[in-house]
Amino acid sequence: MSELRDLTERLVSIPSHDDETAAGDAVASWLREHTDADVTRDDAGNVLAWRNEHADGDSLALVGHHDVVPPDESQTDDGDYVVSEDDGRLYGRGTADMKGAVAAMLLAFRDANPEGPLALASFAGEELGGVGAQHAIDDGFAPDYAVVGEGSTGYSAPGVLDVAVAHKGRRASTVTAEGEAAHASEVESGVNAVYRACDAVDAIRGLDAPEADVLGQHLAGSVAVTEIEGGTAWNVIPDACEVTVDERTVPGARADLERVEAVEGVSWSVEQDLPPMACDDAAFADAVLDAARAEQDGAGEHVAKPHATDAGWLSAAGTTCVVCGPAERGEAHTADESVSLDVLARCRRAYAAAAERVPGGQS
């Protein structure tokens, strides 16, 4: 336990919200010092390591990220990240999301005895929409299977390590309405862009959000208007109005937001599209769940996560994924972010056990 705690503390103490270089250097240097893996850094700041890369059989990757969201003031001291321990938990920015999982994966990667190819990937830019994962995929990173260490603890019961077989994605889009400005005392001489935007909002409100079922887990999408901005003055008919739409997507389907363009003067554009994830191999999902259950007296279930992870990018590129990690629901990105050392230790052992199984669930 002390080795896992010390490694987590080391990684968490390195600031990595503005510049992830030092955190990536720490991950890469640890791998070079403690393993005989082939370790590389790419232009995006990712750390990629392989053991048995050219061995026969399907490849498995343990996947995390070493960037974090900006810390709360209470989590820093003169620019340094503060790490503390209390009652079996480590506190600090990145403990839960997700340097704790990276530490557990590093030790599992070192200690496992896999027969086939085994990779360790610590991505940069996950908090910026998965830019590191996208870069690695574009550069040829294509494992057959992956265990992504984002949080999956506490879904079935408090403190229980679960395995997510699916998660939602997020599509952020903008609806733009154009009109013609005029003085508000002569309404008929202009075209009110806000009215056109309201017609588009009515169309959005009438949409059915898609749903999907993945290995027994039901995911329900959603569509919500979250911002409206238009107009320049109280006495001017507005000639422009923008509507921001947040859509939670599910595997295999999207809401029909294109229909807003049937409103005259309205256009629609996608600003961000983080893909959902669906595991397409029940045997692999069962194998990882078995590895987790072996560490906690049979507890743990297949679950679905409500938000996107790098597993979505990997899944879209053809990698079969599950998500399994120590962060608990609502723990990430908080001022008192922390992780259970006991759950971290379970993750380490489960990752190592999963790495020694042939992906697909055959041992």
Which residue is listed with tokens 């052992």? 349
Q: Looking at the structure, do residues 215 and 307 belong to the same domain, yes or no?
A: no
Q: Looking at the structure, do residues 9 and 109 belong to the same domain, yes or no?
A: yes
pLDDT at res. 331:
87
Flag whether 362 is in a domain.
no
Average pLDDT in the 310-317 region? 97
Q: Looking at the structure, do residues 187 and 309 belong to the same domain, yes or no?
A: no
Average pLDDT in the 321-350 region? 95
Q: Looking at the structure, do residues 54 and 90 belong to the same domain, yes or no?
A: yes
Q: Looking at the structure, do residues 153 and 30 belong to the same domain, yes or no?
A: yes
Q: Which domain holds residue 258?
A: 169-274
Model confidence at 358: pLDDT above 70? no
Average pLDDT in the 189-196 region? 97
DSSP 333: T
Q: What is the C-alpha to C-alpha distance for residues 121 and 61, in angstroms, rounded to an integer?
A: 7
Q: Looking at the structure, do residues 193 and 99 belong to the same domain, yes or no?
A: no
Average pLDDT in the 175-192 region? 96
Q: Looking at the structure, do residues 202 and 337 belong to the same domain, yes or no?
A: no
Model confidence at 77: pLDDT above 60? yes
pLDDT at res. 363:
46
Flag whether 361 is in a domain.
no
Q: Looking at the structure, do residues 110 and 206 belong to the same domain, yes or no?
A: no
Q: Looking at the structure, do residues 52 and 159 belong to the same domain, yes or no?
A: yes
- Dump pLDDT digits (tens) for 17-27: 999 999 999 99
- Dump pLDDT digits (tens) for 242-277: 999 999 999 999 999 999 999 999 999 999 999 999
CATH of the domain at 68: 3.40.630.10
- pTM comes to 0.92
Model confidence at 360: pLDDT above 60? no
- Dump pLDDT digits (tens) for 156-167: 999 999 999 999
Three-state DSSP string of 139-182:
CCCCCCEEEECCCCECCCCCCCECEEEEECEEEEEEEEEECECE
Chain-centre distance for alpha carbon 73? 24
Flag whether 363 is in a domain.
no
Flag whether 40 is in a domain.
yes
Model confidence at 109: pLDDT above 90? yes
Q: Looking at the structure, do residues 126 and 174 belong to the same domain, yes or no?
A: no
Q: What is the C-alpha to C-alpha distance for residues 65 and 334, in angstroms, rounded to an integer?
A: 18
CA distances from 122 to 65, 100, 278 (A): 5, 12, 21
Average pLDDT, the chain: 95
CATH of the domain at 258: 3.30.70.360
What is the b/e burial string over 157-183, where b = at least 16 CB atoms within 10 angstroms of the residue's CB? eeebbbbbbbbbbbbebebbbbbebbe
Q: Looking at the structure, do residues 140 and 38 belong to the same domain, yes or no?
A: yes
Residue ending a domain, among 224, 241, 274, is 274
Flag whether 260 is in a domain.
yes
Model confidence at 361: pLDDT above 70? no
CA distances from 330 to 15, 75, 231, 336 (A): 22, 17, 37, 11
Domain count, the chain: 2
Three-state DSSP string of 37-64:
CEEEECCCCCEEEEECCCCCCCCEEEEE
Least confident of 69-78, 104-113, 159-168, 305-314: 69-78
Residue ending a domain, among 254, 274, 294, is 274
Q: Looking at the structure, do residues 64 and 21 belong to the same domain, yes or no?
A: yes
Flag whether 245 is in a domain.
yes
Residue ending a domain, among 274, 297, 321, is 274
